[in-house]
Structure 1
Amino acid sequence: MRTLLLTFFALTLSTPFALARDAKPLRVGMDVPYAPFGVRGPDGVLTGFEVDLGNAMCQEVTGQDCEWVVQAWDGIIPGLLARKYDLIISSMTITAERRNAVLFSEPYYATPSAFFTRASSEFDLSNTSNTRIGVQRGTNQERYVAEILPDAEVVRYTTTDDMYLDLIGERLDAVMLDAPVGIQWAEDDTKVVQSGDFIKEPARIFGEGVGVAMRKRDRKLAEQVNAALDKLKNNGVYDELMAKYFSFDIKL
Protein backbone atom coordinates (compact mmCIF):
# COMPACT_ATOMS: atom_id res chain seq x y z
CA MET A 1 0.00 0.00 0.00
CA ARG A 2 2.77 2.42 0.92
CA THR A 3 4.50 1.69 -2.39
CA LEU A 4 1.26 2.37 -4.28
CA LEU A 5 0.73 5.63 -2.44
CA LEU A 6 4.28 6.75 -3.09
CA THR A 7 3.88 5.89 -6.75
CA PHE A 8 0.61 7.85 -6.92
CA PHE A 9 2.17 10.94 -5.34
CA ALA A 10 5.20 10.70 -7.61
CA LEU A 11 2.96 10.60 -10.66
CA THR A 12 0.92 13.49 -9.35
CA LEU A 13 3.98 15.66 -8.82
CA SER A 14 5.40 14.80 -12.22
CA THR A 15 2.17 15.52 -14.11
CA PRO A 16 2.10 19.04 -15.58
CA PHE A 17 -0.31 21.94 -15.08
CA ALA A 18 -3.45 19.75 -15.20
CA LEU A 19 -3.31 18.02 -11.81
CA ALA A 20 -1.62 20.99 -10.17
CA ARG A 21 -4.77 22.97 -10.92
CA ASP A 22 -7.33 20.20 -10.44
CA ALA A 23 -7.45 19.64 -14.20
CA LYS A 24 -9.34 22.88 -14.83
CA PRO A 25 -9.31 23.82 -18.52
CA LEU A 26 -7.37 26.88 -19.60
CA ARG A 27 -9.66 29.78 -20.46
CA VAL A 28 -8.58 31.40 -23.72
CA GLY A 29 -9.70 34.77 -25.09
CA MET A 30 -10.27 35.11 -28.85
CA ASP A 31 -11.73 37.77 -31.12
CA VAL A 32 -14.08 36.27 -33.74
CA PRO A 33 -14.83 36.15 -36.60
CA TYR A 34 -11.30 36.12 -37.97
CA ALA A 35 -11.27 33.30 -40.50
CA PRO A 36 -9.26 31.19 -41.06
CA PHE A 37 -7.85 31.68 -37.54
CA GLY A 38 -11.09 31.60 -35.60
CA VAL A 39 -14.75 31.61 -36.61
CA ARG A 40 -17.99 30.43 -35.02
CA GLY A 41 -19.87 27.86 -37.10
CA PRO A 42 -23.67 27.59 -37.49
CA ASP A 43 -23.67 25.16 -34.56
CA GLY A 44 -21.93 27.73 -32.36
CA VAL A 45 -18.65 25.78 -32.25
CA LEU A 46 -15.41 27.68 -32.84
CA THR A 47 -13.15 26.40 -35.60
CA GLY A 48 -10.00 27.62 -37.33
CA PHE A 49 -6.23 27.36 -37.28
CA GLU A 50 -5.71 29.00 -33.90
CA VAL A 51 -8.66 27.13 -32.39
CA ASP A 52 -7.18 23.78 -33.46
CA LEU A 53 -3.66 24.78 -32.43
CA GLY A 54 -4.91 26.20 -29.14
CA ASN A 55 -6.86 23.05 -28.31
CA ALA A 56 -3.82 20.89 -29.09
CA MET A 57 -1.68 23.14 -26.88
CA CYS A 58 -4.23 23.04 -24.03
CA GLN A 59 -4.36 19.24 -24.30
CA GLU A 60 -0.60 19.15 -23.74
CA VAL A 61 -0.82 21.46 -20.70
CA THR A 62 -4.04 20.31 -18.99
CA GLY A 63 -5.28 17.21 -20.81
CA GLN A 64 -8.37 19.12 -21.97
CA ASP A 65 -9.38 21.40 -24.83
CA CYS A 66 -9.31 25.13 -24.19
CA GLU A 67 -12.36 26.86 -22.76
CA TRP A 68 -12.87 29.60 -25.36
CA VAL A 69 -14.07 33.05 -24.36
CA VAL A 70 -15.11 35.35 -27.23
CA GLN A 71 -13.92 38.91 -26.66
CA ALA A 72 -13.89 41.96 -28.97
CA TRP A 73 -10.35 42.89 -30.00
CA ASP A 74 -10.28 46.37 -28.50
CA GLY A 75 -10.96 44.90 -25.05
CA ILE A 76 -8.97 41.70 -25.31
CA ILE A 77 -5.92 42.74 -23.23
CA PRO A 78 -8.06 44.46 -20.54
CA GLY A 79 -10.09 41.23 -20.36
CA LEU A 80 -6.93 39.20 -19.74
CA LEU A 81 -5.76 41.59 -17.03
CA ALA A 82 -9.22 41.45 -15.43
CA ARG A 83 -8.86 37.62 -15.27
CA LYS A 84 -11.75 36.87 -17.65
CA TYR A 85 -9.43 34.27 -19.19
CA ASP A 86 -5.92 32.88 -18.68
CA LEU A 87 -4.50 33.37 -22.17
CA ILE A 88 -5.06 35.19 -25.42
CA ILE A 89 -4.75 33.18 -28.64
CA SER A 90 -6.00 35.60 -31.28
CA SER A 91 -3.38 36.47 -33.91
CA MET A 92 -1.76 38.91 -31.49
CA THR A 93 1.51 40.29 -32.83
CA ILE A 94 4.33 40.65 -30.31
CA THR A 95 5.25 44.33 -30.09
CA ALA A 96 7.25 46.39 -27.61
CA GLU A 97 4.10 48.29 -26.58
CA ARG A 98 2.18 45.09 -25.82
CA ARG A 99 5.14 43.62 -23.93
CA ASN A 100 4.66 46.44 -21.44
CA ALA A 101 1.24 45.00 -20.57
CA VAL A 102 1.48 41.21 -21.05
CA LEU A 103 3.87 38.26 -21.16
CA PHE A 104 4.22 36.51 -24.53
CA SER A 105 5.08 32.97 -25.50
CA GLU A 106 7.62 32.37 -28.21
CA PRO A 107 6.11 33.36 -31.58
CA TYR A 108 4.27 30.57 -33.40
CA TYR A 109 3.71 32.19 -36.81
CA ALA A 110 4.28 35.44 -38.68
CA THR A 111 1.53 36.67 -40.93
CA PRO A 112 1.87 39.44 -43.49
CA SER A 113 -0.64 42.24 -43.85
CA ALA A 114 -2.20 43.38 -47.12
CA PHE A 115 -4.71 45.79 -48.61
CA PHE A 116 -7.92 44.45 -50.12
CA THR A 117 -10.44 46.24 -52.28
CA ARG A 118 -13.28 45.56 -54.70
CA ALA A 119 -12.48 44.12 -58.11
CA SER A 120 -14.25 47.10 -59.66
CA SER A 121 -12.39 49.68 -57.55
CA GLU A 122 -9.76 52.11 -58.83
CA PHE A 123 -7.99 52.17 -55.47
CA ASP A 124 -4.36 53.21 -55.94
CA LEU A 125 -1.98 52.72 -53.02
CA SER A 126 0.41 55.30 -54.50
CA ASN A 127 -2.26 57.99 -54.16
CA THR A 128 -4.44 57.60 -51.10
CA SER A 129 -5.72 61.17 -50.71
CA ASN A 130 -9.51 61.29 -50.50
CA THR A 131 -9.69 57.54 -49.87
CA ARG A 132 -11.38 55.73 -47.00
CA ILE A 133 -9.40 52.77 -45.64
CA GLY A 134 -10.96 50.43 -43.10
CA VAL A 135 -8.95 48.90 -40.26
CA GLN A 136 -9.79 47.02 -37.09
CA ARG A 137 -9.38 49.17 -34.01
CA GLY A 138 -6.25 48.50 -31.93
CA THR A 139 -4.39 46.57 -34.65
CA ASN A 140 -1.01 46.99 -36.29
CA GLN A 141 -2.83 47.85 -39.50
CA GLU A 142 -4.56 50.79 -37.81
CA ARG A 143 -1.18 52.15 -36.78
CA TYR A 144 0.32 51.51 -40.22
CA VAL A 145 -2.37 53.38 -42.15
CA ALA A 146 -2.38 56.28 -39.68
CA GLU A 147 1.41 56.67 -39.78
CA ILE A 148 2.37 55.65 -43.32
CA LEU A 149 -0.67 56.94 -45.25
CA PRO A 150 -1.53 60.23 -43.52
CA ASP A 151 -3.53 61.48 -46.53
CA ALA A 152 -6.05 58.64 -46.22
CA GLU A 153 -9.13 58.74 -44.01
CA VAL A 154 -8.81 55.95 -41.44
CA VAL A 155 -12.13 54.27 -40.67
CA ARG A 156 -11.93 52.15 -37.52
CA TYR A 157 -14.05 49.06 -36.84
CA THR A 158 -14.65 46.73 -33.93
CA THR A 159 -15.12 43.63 -36.11
CA THR A 160 -13.83 42.49 -39.49
CA ASP A 161 -17.39 41.52 -40.47
CA ASP A 162 -18.39 45.18 -40.42
CA MET A 163 -15.30 46.08 -42.46
CA TYR A 164 -16.23 43.53 -45.09
CA LEU A 165 -19.82 44.76 -45.35
CA ASP A 166 -18.71 48.37 -45.79
CA LEU A 167 -16.12 47.39 -48.40
CA ILE A 168 -18.67 45.44 -50.45
CA GLY A 169 -21.22 48.20 -49.90
CA GLU A 170 -18.77 50.74 -51.41
CA ARG A 171 -18.55 52.75 -48.20
CA LEU A 172 -14.81 52.05 -48.12
CA ASP A 173 -12.20 52.23 -50.86
CA ALA A 174 -10.05 49.52 -49.28
CA VAL A 175 -9.29 47.68 -46.05
CA MET A 176 -6.01 46.62 -44.49
CA LEU A 177 -5.82 43.48 -42.36
CA ASP A 178 -3.93 40.22 -41.89
CA ALA A 179 -3.46 38.81 -45.38
CA PRO A 180 -4.91 35.31 -44.68
CA VAL A 181 -8.19 36.89 -43.57
CA GLY A 182 -8.48 38.97 -46.74
CA ILE A 183 -7.46 36.01 -48.88
CA GLN A 184 -10.29 34.03 -47.29
CA TRP A 185 -12.68 36.85 -48.22
CA ALA A 186 -11.41 36.78 -51.82
CA GLU A 187 -11.84 33.01 -52.03
CA ASP A 188 -15.42 33.28 -50.77
CA ASP A 189 -16.39 36.40 -52.78
CA THR A 190 -15.00 37.25 -56.24
CA LYS A 191 -15.82 40.93 -55.66
CA VAL A 192 -12.87 41.12 -53.22
CA VAL A 193 -9.28 41.29 -54.52
CA GLN A 194 -5.88 41.91 -52.99
CA SER A 195 -4.27 45.25 -53.84
CA GLY A 196 -0.47 45.23 -53.85
CA ASP A 197 2.04 42.91 -52.22
CA PHE A 198 2.24 41.51 -48.71
CA ILE A 199 3.43 44.05 -46.14
CA LYS A 200 5.72 42.99 -43.27
CA GLU A 201 7.67 46.16 -42.49
CA PRO A 202 8.48 48.26 -40.57
CA ALA A 203 9.25 45.96 -37.65
CA ARG A 204 8.40 48.71 -35.15
CA ILE A 205 4.79 48.37 -36.30
CA PHE A 206 4.49 44.71 -37.29
CA GLY A 207 6.52 43.28 -34.43
CA GLU A 208 8.21 39.91 -33.96
CA GLY A 209 5.54 37.42 -34.98
CA VAL A 210 2.35 36.22 -33.29
CA GLY A 211 2.43 34.84 -29.74
CA VAL A 212 0.18 33.63 -26.94
CA ALA A 213 -0.38 36.42 -24.40
CA MET A 214 -0.54 35.88 -20.65
CA ARG A 215 -0.45 37.98 -17.50
CA LYS A 216 3.10 38.92 -16.56
CA ARG A 217 3.00 37.00 -13.29
CA ASP A 218 2.16 33.70 -15.04
CA ARG A 219 5.73 32.73 -15.90
CA LYS A 220 5.24 29.06 -15.04
CA LEU A 221 2.29 28.92 -17.42
CA ALA A 222 4.41 30.59 -20.10
CA GLU A 223 7.03 27.85 -19.71
CA GLN A 224 4.34 25.19 -20.14
CA VAL A 225 2.84 26.94 -23.16
CA ASN A 226 6.24 27.23 -24.82
CA ALA A 227 7.00 23.57 -24.12
CA ALA A 228 3.63 22.52 -25.57
CA LEU A 229 4.06 24.62 -28.72
CA ASP A 230 7.58 23.27 -29.19
CA LYS A 231 6.28 19.71 -28.91
CA LEU A 232 3.53 20.36 -31.48
CA LYS A 233 6.10 21.76 -33.90
CA ASN A 234 8.35 18.72 -33.45
CA ASN A 235 5.68 16.01 -33.64
CA GLY A 236 4.14 17.21 -36.89
CA VAL A 237 0.82 18.54 -35.56
CA TYR A 238 1.76 22.17 -36.25
CA ASP A 239 2.71 21.42 -39.87
CA GLU A 240 -0.51 19.44 -40.39
CA LEU A 241 -2.60 22.39 -39.21
CA MET A 242 -0.62 24.81 -41.38
CA ALA A 243 -1.28 22.62 -44.43
CA LYS A 244 -4.97 22.33 -43.51
CA TYR A 245 -5.62 26.07 -43.37
CA PHE A 246 -3.05 27.85 -45.54
CA SER A 247 -1.93 27.60 -49.16
CA PHE A 248 1.10 29.82 -48.50
CA ASP A 249 3.79 29.89 -45.84
CA ILE A 250 3.22 31.92 -42.68
CA LYS A 251 5.71 30.01 -40.56
CA LEU A 252 8.52 31.94 -38.91
Structure 2
Amino acid sequence: MKTLLLAFIALTLTTPLALAKDTKPLRVAMDVPYAPFGERGPDGKLVGFEVDLGNAMCQEITGQECDWVVQAWDGIIPGLLARKYDLIVSSMSITEERRNAVLFSEPYYTTPSLFFTRAESDFDQANTSDTRIGVQRGTNQERYVAEMHPDAKVIRYTTTDDMYLDLTGERLDAVFLDAPVGIKWGKDDPKVVQHGDFIKEPARIFGQGVGVAMRKRDKELAEKVNAALDKLKNNGVYDDIMNKYFDFDIKL
Protein backbone atom coordinates (compact mmCIF):
# COMPACT_ATOMS: atom_id res chain seq x y z
CA MET A 1 0.00 0.00 0.00
CA LYS A 2 2.81 2.41 0.93
CA THR A 3 4.60 1.67 -2.34
CA LEU A 4 1.42 2.30 -4.36
CA LEU A 5 0.80 5.56 -2.51
CA LEU A 6 4.33 6.80 -3.17
CA ALA A 7 3.99 5.88 -6.84
CA PHE A 8 0.69 7.79 -7.11
CA ILE A 9 2.22 10.87 -5.48
CA ALA A 10 5.20 10.70 -7.84
CA LEU A 11 2.87 10.45 -10.83
CA THR A 12 0.76 13.44 -9.79
CA LEU A 13 3.86 15.53 -9.21
CA THR A 14 5.53 14.70 -12.52
CA THR A 15 2.52 14.71 -14.84
CA PRO A 16 1.95 18.53 -14.74
CA LEU A 17 5.61 19.04 -15.56
CA ALA A 18 5.29 16.73 -18.54
CA LEU A 19 2.27 18.70 -19.74
CA ALA A 20 4.08 22.02 -19.27
CA LYS A 21 5.49 21.78 -22.80
CA ASP A 22 3.91 24.29 -25.18
CA THR A 23 0.69 22.85 -26.58
CA LYS A 24 -1.40 25.95 -27.24
CA PRO A 25 -1.21 27.20 -30.86
CA LEU A 26 0.75 30.38 -31.40
CA ARG A 27 -1.29 33.24 -32.83
CA VAL A 28 0.68 34.73 -35.71
CA ALA A 29 -0.12 37.94 -37.61
CA MET A 30 0.38 38.48 -41.32
CA ASP A 31 -0.52 41.27 -43.73
CA VAL A 32 -1.98 39.96 -46.99
CA PRO A 33 -1.83 39.94 -49.92
CA TYR A 34 1.94 39.95 -50.24
CA ALA A 35 2.65 37.14 -52.68
CA PRO A 36 4.75 35.03 -52.76
CA PHE A 37 5.20 35.51 -49.00
CA GLY A 38 1.53 35.35 -48.06
CA GLU A 39 -1.84 35.53 -49.79
CA ARG A 40 -5.20 33.79 -49.86
CA GLY A 41 -5.47 30.79 -52.14
CA PRO A 42 -8.56 29.91 -54.22
CA ASP A 43 -10.09 28.19 -51.19
CA GLY A 44 -9.53 31.22 -48.96
CA LYS A 45 -6.71 29.65 -46.98
CA LEU A 46 -3.40 31.45 -46.51
CA VAL A 47 -0.56 30.24 -48.72
CA GLY A 48 2.98 31.42 -49.40
CA PHE A 49 6.59 31.19 -48.30
CA GLU A 50 6.08 32.73 -44.88
CA VAL A 51 2.91 30.72 -44.30
CA ASP A 52 4.78 27.46 -44.91
CA LEU A 53 7.81 28.56 -42.92
CA GLY A 54 5.68 29.93 -40.09
CA ASN A 55 3.69 26.70 -39.85
CA ALA A 56 6.90 24.65 -39.78
CA MET A 57 8.26 26.92 -37.03
CA CYS A 58 5.06 26.66 -34.98
CA GLN A 59 5.10 22.87 -35.38
CA GLU A 60 8.58 22.79 -33.86
CA ILE A 61 7.48 24.91 -30.89
CA THR A 62 3.96 23.68 -30.14
CA GLY A 63 3.38 20.61 -32.30
CA GLN A 64 0.65 22.52 -34.18
CA GLU A 65 0.48 24.89 -37.12
CA CYS A 66 0.15 28.62 -36.49
CA ASP A 67 -3.21 30.19 -35.69
CA TRP A 68 -3.02 32.89 -38.38
CA VAL A 69 -4.45 36.37 -37.91
CA VAL A 70 -4.75 38.66 -40.95
CA GLN A 71 -3.83 42.21 -39.96
CA ALA A 72 -3.27 45.32 -42.09
CA TRP A 73 0.34 46.43 -42.10
CA ASP A 74 -0.15 49.87 -40.59
CA GLY A 75 -1.72 48.32 -37.47
CA ILE A 76 0.39 45.20 -37.18
CA ILE A 77 2.78 46.35 -34.42
CA PRO A 78 0.02 48.02 -32.36
CA GLY A 79 -1.95 44.77 -32.60
CA LEU A 80 1.03 42.81 -31.26
CA LEU A 81 1.49 45.21 -28.36
CA ALA A 82 -2.25 44.96 -27.61
CA ARG A 83 -1.82 41.16 -27.32
CA LYS A 84 -4.09 40.34 -30.25
CA TYR A 85 -1.47 37.78 -31.33
CA ASP A 86 1.89 36.41 -30.17
CA LEU A 87 4.11 36.89 -33.21
CA ILE A 88 4.40 38.76 -36.48
CA VAL A 89 5.63 36.74 -39.47
CA SER A 90 5.09 39.21 -42.28
CA SER A 91 8.29 40.26 -44.07
CA MET A 92 9.15 42.76 -41.32
CA SER A 93 12.65 44.17 -41.78
CA ILE A 94 14.74 44.51 -38.65
CA THR A 95 15.44 48.21 -38.13
CA GLU A 96 16.60 50.19 -35.13
CA GLU A 97 13.34 52.13 -35.10
CA ARG A 98 11.31 48.93 -34.84
CA ARG A 99 13.68 47.49 -32.23
CA ASN A 100 12.49 50.27 -29.95
CA ALA A 101 8.99 48.75 -30.05
CA VAL A 102 9.42 44.99 -30.50
CA LEU A 103 11.82 42.09 -29.95
CA PHE A 104 13.09 40.40 -33.12
CA SER A 105 14.25 36.89 -33.81
CA GLU A 106 17.43 36.31 -35.74
CA PRO A 107 16.83 37.24 -39.41
CA TYR A 108 15.37 34.44 -41.52
CA TYR A 109 15.57 35.97 -45.00
CA THR A 110 16.65 39.02 -46.92
CA THR A 111 15.55 40.26 -50.30
CA PRO A 112 16.35 43.42 -52.24
CA SER A 113 13.83 46.02 -53.35
CA LEU A 114 13.07 46.99 -56.94
CA PHE A 115 11.24 49.56 -59.01
CA PHE A 116 8.61 48.14 -61.36
CA THR A 117 6.90 49.92 -64.24
CA ARG A 118 4.67 49.13 -67.19
CA ALA A 119 6.50 47.70 -70.20
CA GLU A 120 5.96 50.84 -72.29
CA SER A 121 6.91 53.29 -69.50
CA ASP A 122 9.63 55.93 -69.88
CA PHE A 123 10.17 56.10 -66.10
CA ASP A 124 13.67 57.30 -65.16
CA GLN A 125 15.06 56.77 -61.64
CA ALA A 126 17.52 59.59 -62.20
CA ASN A 127 14.74 62.09 -62.89
CA THR A 128 11.62 61.48 -60.81
CA SER A 129 10.29 65.04 -60.73
CA ASP A 130 6.48 64.94 -60.71
CA THR A 131 6.60 61.14 -61.11
CA ARG A 132 3.89 59.10 -59.38
CA ILE A 133 5.52 56.32 -57.37
CA GLY A 134 3.44 53.81 -55.41
CA VAL A 135 4.63 52.37 -52.08
CA GLN A 136 3.00 50.43 -49.28
CA ARG A 137 2.37 52.56 -46.22
CA GLY A 138 4.72 52.01 -43.27
CA THR A 139 7.39 50.09 -45.21
CA ASN A 140 11.10 50.61 -45.77
CA GLN A 141 10.29 51.26 -49.41
CA GLU A 142 8.06 54.19 -48.44
CA ARG A 143 10.88 55.70 -46.41
CA TYR A 144 13.40 55.14 -49.20
CA VAL A 145 11.33 56.88 -51.88
CA ALA A 146 10.46 59.76 -49.54
CA GLU A 147 14.14 60.34 -48.70
CA MET A 148 15.85 59.52 -51.99
CA HIS A 149 13.24 60.91 -54.38
CA PRO A 150 11.77 63.95 -52.61
CA ASP A 151 10.71 65.47 -55.93
CA ALA A 152 8.44 62.52 -56.74
CA LYS A 153 4.77 62.31 -55.89
CA VAL A 154 4.64 59.44 -53.41
CA ILE A 155 1.32 57.56 -53.42
CA ARG A 156 0.85 55.43 -50.29
CA TYR A 157 -1.23 52.25 -50.28
CA THR A 158 -2.58 49.89 -47.67
CA THR A 159 -2.25 46.78 -49.87
CA THR A 160 0.01 45.74 -52.74
CA ASP A 161 -3.04 44.61 -54.70
CA ASP A 162 -4.17 48.23 -54.96
CA MET A 163 -0.68 49.25 -56.06
CA TYR A 164 -0.75 46.67 -58.84
CA LEU A 165 -4.16 47.82 -60.06
CA ASP A 166 -3.08 51.46 -60.19
CA LEU A 167 0.20 50.63 -61.94
CA THR A 168 -1.44 48.56 -64.66
CA GLY A 169 -4.30 51.05 -64.84
CA GLU A 170 -1.78 53.83 -65.64
CA ARG A 171 -2.52 55.77 -62.47
CA LEU A 172 1.08 55.28 -61.34
CA ASP A 173 4.36 55.65 -63.20
CA ALA A 174 6.20 53.13 -61.02
CA VAL A 175 6.01 51.16 -57.80
CA PHE A 176 8.79 50.33 -55.36
CA LEU A 177 8.54 47.18 -53.27
CA ASP A 178 10.19 43.89 -52.27
CA ALA A 179 11.66 42.37 -55.41
CA PRO A 180 9.93 38.93 -55.22
CA VAL A 181 6.49 40.56 -55.03
CA GLY A 182 6.99 42.53 -58.25
CA ILE A 183 8.77 39.63 -59.94
CA LYS A 184 5.69 37.49 -59.37
CA TRP A 185 3.54 40.25 -60.86
CA GLY A 186 5.73 40.19 -63.95
CA LYS A 187 5.47 36.42 -64.30
CA ASP A 188 1.69 36.66 -64.16
CA ASP A 189 1.35 39.82 -66.24
CA PRO A 190 3.89 40.76 -68.97
CA LYS A 191 2.79 44.40 -68.74
CA VAL A 192 4.75 44.68 -65.46
CA VAL A 193 8.54 44.86 -65.83
CA GLN A 194 11.52 45.36 -63.55
CA HIS A 195 13.21 48.75 -63.78
CA GLY A 196 16.86 49.07 -62.78
CA ASP A 197 18.94 46.98 -60.40
CA PHE A 198 18.31 45.51 -56.96
CA ILE A 199 18.42 48.08 -54.15
CA LYS A 200 19.66 47.00 -50.70
CA GLU A 201 21.23 50.14 -49.28
CA PRO A 202 21.37 52.16 -47.12
CA ALA A 203 21.19 49.75 -44.18
CA ARG A 204 19.67 52.48 -41.98
CA ILE A 205 16.56 52.22 -44.15
CA PHE A 206 16.49 48.57 -45.22
CA GLY A 207 17.69 47.08 -41.94
CA GLN A 208 19.50 43.81 -41.27
CA GLY A 209 17.16 41.29 -42.87
CA VAL A 210 13.64 40.14 -41.98
CA GLY A 211 12.78 38.74 -38.55
CA VAL A 212 9.90 37.41 -36.50
CA ALA A 213 8.60 40.16 -34.18
CA MET A 214 7.46 39.62 -30.59
CA ARG A 215 6.73 41.71 -27.54
CA LYS A 216 9.91 42.75 -25.76
CA ARG A 217 9.03 40.82 -22.62
CA ASP A 218 8.74 37.51 -24.50
CA LYS A 219 12.41 36.57 -24.34
CA GLU A 220 11.70 32.89 -23.68
CA LEU A 221 9.49 32.74 -26.76
CA ALA A 222 12.23 34.41 -28.80
CA GLU A 223 14.66 31.66 -27.77
CA LYS A 224 12.19 29.02 -28.95
CA VAL A 225 11.60 30.83 -32.24
CA ASN A 226 15.34 31.14 -32.89
CA ALA A 227 15.91 27.47 -32.05
CA ALA A 228 13.08 26.39 -34.37
CA LEU A 229 14.30 28.54 -37.28
CA ASP A 230 17.87 27.29 -36.78
CA LYS A 231 16.68 23.68 -36.88
CA LEU A 232 14.65 24.27 -40.05
CA LYS A 233 17.67 25.83 -41.76
CA ASN A 234 19.90 22.90 -40.77
CA ASN A 235 17.58 19.99 -41.54
CA GLY A 236 16.72 21.06 -45.10
CA VAL A 237 13.11 22.06 -44.46
CA TYR A 238 13.84 25.78 -44.97
CA ASP A 239 15.54 25.09 -48.32
CA ASP A 240 12.63 22.95 -49.50
CA ILE A 241 10.17 25.75 -48.70
CA MET A 242 12.40 28.43 -50.24
CA ASN A 243 12.89 26.49 -53.48
CA LYS A 244 9.12 26.09 -53.77
CA TYR A 245 8.67 29.86 -54.12
CA PHE A 246 11.97 31.39 -55.31
CA ASP A 247 14.53 30.89 -58.07
CA PHE A 248 17.28 32.44 -55.93
CA ASP A 249 18.61 32.06 -52.39
CA ILE A 250 17.03 34.39 -49.82
CA LYS A 251 18.38 32.63 -46.73
CA LEU A 252 20.58 34.50 -44.26
Q: Deviations over 1:88-107 (max 9, x none)?
A: 00000000000000000000
Sort the Cα spacing of 1:130 and 1:17 in 2 relative to 1 into closer, same or farther, 3 A: farther
| Secondary structure in structure 2 of the residue aligned to 1:138 | coil
Sort the Cα spacing of 1:221 and 1:123 in 2 relative to 1 into closer, same or farther, 3 A: same
The residue number in structure 1 matching 2:204 is: 204
Sort the Cα spacing of 1:132 and 1:5 in 2 relative to 1 into closer, same or farther, 3 A: farther
Alignment of 1:190-201 (within 5 A): 190-201=190-201
CA contact (8 A) 1:29 1:89 kept: yes
Alignment of 1:160-239 (within 5 A): 160-239=160-239
Query: How far apart are 1:11 and its partner, in Å?
Result: 7.4
Percent of paired sites with the same residue: 78
Query: How far apart are 1:184 and its partner, in Å?
Result: 0.5
The residue number in structure 2 matching 1:77 is: 77
Q: Deviations over 1:176-195 (max 9, x none)?
A: 00000000000000000000
Sort the Cα spacing of 1:14 and 1:227 in 2 relative to 1 into closer, same or farther, 3 A: farther
TM score, norm. by length of structure 2: 0.94
Greater CA radius of gyration, 1 or 2? 2
CA distance in 2, matches of 1:135, 1:217: 32
Alignment of 1:110-189 (within 5 A): 110-189=110-189
CA distance in 2, matches of 1:226, 1:140: 24
CA distance in 1, matches of 2:14, 2:73: 42
Q: CA RMSD in A?
A: 1.6
The residue number in structure 2 matching 1:50 is: 50
CA distance in 1, matches of 2:236, 2:19: 23
Query: How far apart are 1:51 and its partner, in Å?
Result: 0.2
Sort the Cα spacing of 1:178 and 1:14 in 2 relative to 1 into closer, same or farther, 3 A: farther
CA distance in 1, matches of 2:201, 2:13: 51
Sort the Cα spacing of 1:15 and 1:251 in 2 relative to 1 into closer, same or farther, 3 A: farther
Sort the Cα spacing of 1:4 and 1:54 in 2 relative to 1 into closer, same or farther, 3 A: farther
Aligned residue pairs, count? 248
Sort the Cα spacing of 1:104 and 1:174 in 2 relative to 1 into closer, same or farther, 3 A: same
Q: Deviations over 1:137-167 (max 9, x none)?
A: 0000000000011111100000000000000
What amino acid maps onto 1:43 in structure 2?
D
Sort the Cα spacing of 1:191 and 1:16 in 2 relative to 1 into closer, same or farther, 3 A: farther
Q: Which moved more, 1:3-12 or 1:184-193?
A: 3-12
CA contact (8 A) 1:16 1:62 kept: no
Sort the Cα spacing of 1:8 and 1:133 in 2 relative to 1 into closer, same or farther, 3 A: farther
| Secondary structure in structure 2 of the residue aligned to 1:143 | helix
| Secondary structure in structure 2 of the residue aligned to 1:90 | coil
TM score, norm. by length of structure 1: 0.94
What amino acid maps onto 1:101 in structure 2?
A
